[in-house]
Amino acid sequence: MGEIKDRFKAETDIVGAEIKQLLKEHGTKKIGEVQLSQVYQGMRGITGLVSETSLLDANDGIRFRGYSIPELQVKLPKSEGGSEPLPEGLFLLMLIGGLPTSDEVQNLTSVWQRRSHVPNHVFATIEALPIATHPMTQFVIAIMALQTESQFSRKYAGGLNKKDYWEATFDDAMDLIARLPRVAAYIYRRKYKNGEHIQPNGLLDWAGNFAHMLGYEDEGFMELMRLYMTIHADHEGGNVSAHATHLVGSALSDPYLSFAAGMNGLAGPLHGLANQEVIKWIFEMREELKTELPTKEQITEYVKKTLSEGKVVPGYGHAVLRKTDPRFTAQMEFGKKHMPEDPLVQTVWNVYEAVPPILKSLGKVKNPWPNVDAHSGALLVHYGMVEYDFYTVLFGVSRSLGVLASLCWDRALSFPLERPKSITTDLVKKWLKGEEEIWGE
């Protein structure tokens, strides 16, 4: 553990010094102009954040410290006999930069195993909720219950030197990531498996152990979890879950409070909840058409019906991406390798052929291609995880890797409170008439 922390500190010191110099020399350089429409339309295209862990290209998709998903599938360490990357490796890459060795990844697995204890009051808090409570709500409440363990919050109350914020943040991030699989698996077993819980297996890696605690021992499912936890981890800094975690963290709210905020954002249907919406939509289509494998023509008609009801086609479109999401492609490859004959998986592929031309024909959808959520559910159903209400929790466990690595960087680089300027439409009208100016605070 000490070694990871030392390397992180050394790396952030170097980057911190570079940023200082860079701002001294170029701090007043303009990097873009903001149009009035962008202010009203979700700040699309406004560059206003720094997030060191990953960068999204509209056409190439996500790159983690410069590496694409296909590259990482080759270069990151795997479990023995496995072929999917271990998410521990991706975390180290995002946290420190540079591809980790197998030994470094194994070391992190042991660190997280040692730090994975979840206090009983967290389980009692979950148990106090009605069983019908959505798994994401249970997940967020459990994270809040875990906040009693925050070292940042305890040390801050005791008078923490600014220079040491990063270290307490780092410790909280490690503890929280280590604990999340146990919390998530507890919610799953409580809600869907009669509360028959499964103890952790200390011999397994982080994602393999998560699969085990969920109740899935199939090696294929464990490999899926390793892939799933890797590809959902980060998508640069502006998406709702990453941005919310960063924003709340900028108030020096500890990592538990900050991550819970991010998870509340992930629970929205335009963000992480889309993965449950996709499979629900496909199940409803199959039921209405009374077939397991609808034809492309039938799918086309069903998509048109969805749109005519004023609904979005879940799993399609993206705020930044303009091509098929490489995270979709990685899952499609997994499907081709492990379950090419599965009718649900084939339906996902048929939907992929049917939807883009229809969305394109609407003329307003900027990206007609599938995103990560269009595929994930079908793979999970294949292994028996049919409880789609739970899927966003899986996404959330994975997302902790990226947003908490980023939060460590935020504190190490001493990023300040985030506080953009907002305006009123009344001010806009006066500004357009030349009566008032729009100034930043």
Q: Which of 306, 421, 348 is nearest to 39 (CA)?
A: 421
Other CB atoms closer than 10 Å to residue 122's CB: what's the count? 22
Which tokens is 7 given? Answer: 């390397």
Beta carbon nearer to ligand AMX, 290 or 364: 364
- The residue from 232, 271, 375, 382 that is catalytic is 271
Among residues 134, 191, 318, 411, which is the contact residue for ligand AMX, using CB under 6 A? 318
Pick the stretch among 56-64, 135-143, 206-214, 270-278 that binds ligand AMX (CB under 6 A).
270-278
Spatial distance between the Cα atoms of 418 and 255, rounded to a whole number of angstroms:
16
Judged by CB under 6 A, the number of residues near ligand AMX is: 22
Beta carbon nearer to ligand AMX, 336 or 366: 366
Query: What is the CA 94 to chain-centroid distance, rounded?
Result: 13
CB of 406 to ligand AMX, least distance (A): 16
Is 338 among the catalytic positions?
no
List, as one string, the DSSP characters of 306-341. Answer: HHHTT---TTB--SS--S--HHHHHHHHHHHHH-TT
Q: Decide: helix, strand or coil at residue 67.
A: strand
Spatial distance between the Cα atoms of 310 and 312, rounded to a whole number of angstroms:
7
Query: What is the CA 121 to chain-centroid distance, rounded?
Result: 26
Is 271 among the catalytic positions?
yes
Which tokens is 192 given? Answer: 């869907």
Is 271 near ligand AMX (CB under 6 A)? Answer: yes
Q: Which residue shows structure tokens 């997302």? A: 399
Which tokens is 327 given? Answer: 């995270």
Is 205 among the catalytic positions?
no
CB of 357 to ligand AMX, least distance (A): 13
Pick the stretch among 52-60, 186-194, 363-371, 430-438 that binds ligand AMX (CB under 6 A).
363-371
Is 274 near ligand AMX (CB under 6 A)? Answer: yes
- The residue from 373, 375, 382, 410 that is catalytic is 373
CB of 124 to ligand AMX, least distance (A): 32
Which tokens is 222 given? Answer: 């464990």
Among residues 231, 365, 381, 385, which is the contact residue for ligand AMX, using CB under 6 A? 365
Binding mask 369-408 for ligand AMX (x = CB under 6 A): --xxx-----------------------------------
Binding mask 341-360 for ligand AMX (x = CB under 6 A): ------------------x-
Q: Which of 9, 50, 20 is nearest to 169 (CA)?
A: 9
Which tokens is 341 given? Answer: 């004959």
Binding site for ligand AMX (CB under 6 A): 239, 270-272, 274, 307, 312-319, 359, 364-367, 371-373
- Active-site residues, by number, are 271, 318, 373
